[in-house]
Amino acid sequence: MFNTHIIIDNKGDIVQTYRKLHLFDVEIPEKNVRLKESDFTSPGSHVVTPVDTPVGRIGLEICYDMRFPELSTTLGSMRADILTFPSAFTYVTGMAHWHLLLRARAIENQCYVLAAAQTGQHNAKRRSYGHALCVDPWGEVLADCEEEGPCYKIAEISLEKLADVRRNMPVFQHRSDTVVFFISDKKFKDMCEVNPHWASVVDYDLVTPNLGTDVYSLYTLSLRNKLLAEHSVTAVTSTTTNQIHDVENSESMYVFGQAKVPESCVFYKTNLTYAFVNLRCVIPGHVLVAPIRLAERNRDLNDEEAADFFKTVRLVQRLMEKVHNVNSSTVTIQDGPEAGQTIKHVHCHILPRKKDDFIDNDLIYLELAKHDKVSPTTPRKPARSLQEMREEAAMLRKELEIMTQDSEKQN
């Protein structure tokens, strides 16, 4: 059983659930004190992304979570506008820390904070503090329900004020690019390529607390089952770029947004679409499909181009699954900059998947988001040599020919 925070929309649909990460476990025999949530609930294992609502993006936390600022900061990095803390603080700790903690979380993350709270005497040993609060991003308490019986109050959430606070003191822009990360479990550490970096975040159900990991900073990890080879980003990138420049005069080049693709790296093409091998592969067999005409977004394709594009995607997916002997693929389009698109030319990533190729299956999307973001200080995927890409493209052309012949025989 989990202590779960649920968001329900105006249609009655559950749109997000968060399981409490931090359980309040206190046992002091000499004071006859025992409050252990772990006796009846299990901890959650991951942060969840904020929910888009008419009043802003709502981040989900629960009660004791407010004592762990990294969680709120993680939600802030996900662009949360409102942090929510349904709570049942004890009277003693509430008197000492309730207002301080909630105002601190609001100020440091420049978010509104909403904290519903139980109040009153539960039994002879337990009394809840109450004081349901609304705090603005400047730390001002907008509403306080005090502690005397059931109560509700109304406060105004102003996204204009929120934007003004963030504009006047842009703390998230000033945040260091390096996030301190500790992993105490050697086995887990040996399985990970750790690249500390403040990055975009998605939901991760990754590890359990006994691994000793910082669950709030898991988005800084590349959780592969095999480490990347060490490489010099500057040298590799420069060499490959120079190789591509050298072939421009000797073979045709396809325009791919702000980049170019040598014809020798293309393994399939129609009048409207082409498929080609990748400069930096998240996993072996990671290839791309794009329209020949420069179209930045999926919406920019005309009907004929769109039909041919997705027909090609299906064909190439079949090919890559056959070549790599798998029956699953990740097929995805990063359509627009907020979706992670870095090349301004709509394209589809096709990645043949094998069981346990990542510690957590959906971490492939994190890798996809950062595999082509290369800098000397935070090396990502190494660029492949032009020769390696040419050889793969030639192999795929042959395999596609065989697959086509086999299909024709069956028909």
Q: How confident is the model at residue 176 (pLDDT cuts 50, 70, 90)?
A: low
Question: Is residue 16 a known part of a binding site?
Answer: no
CATH of domain 233-410: 3.30.428.10
Higher pLDDT, residue 213 or 176? 176
DSSP 80: -
Instruction: Write down the pLDDT at residue 236.
Output: 35
Q: Which of 197, 286, 347, 371 is catalytic?
A: 347
**Res 196 pLDDT > 70:** no
**Treating both helix axes as pointing N-terminal to C-terminal, what angle do 386-410 and 303-323 enclose, rounded to 10 degrees?**
100
**Among 345, 336, 371, 347, CA closest to 275:** 347
Thinking of the domain 4-175, which architecture would CATH place it in? 4-Layer Sandwich (3.60)
Q: How confident is the model at residue 38 (pLDDT cuts 50, 70, 90)?
A: very high
Instruction: Write down the pLDDT at residue 378.
Output: 39
Question: Is residue 278 a known part of a binding site?
Answer: yes
> Could you confirm whether 286 is annotated as catalytic?
no
What residues does each domain of the chain span?
4-175, 233-410
pLDDT in tens, 308-328: 999 999 999 999 999 999 999
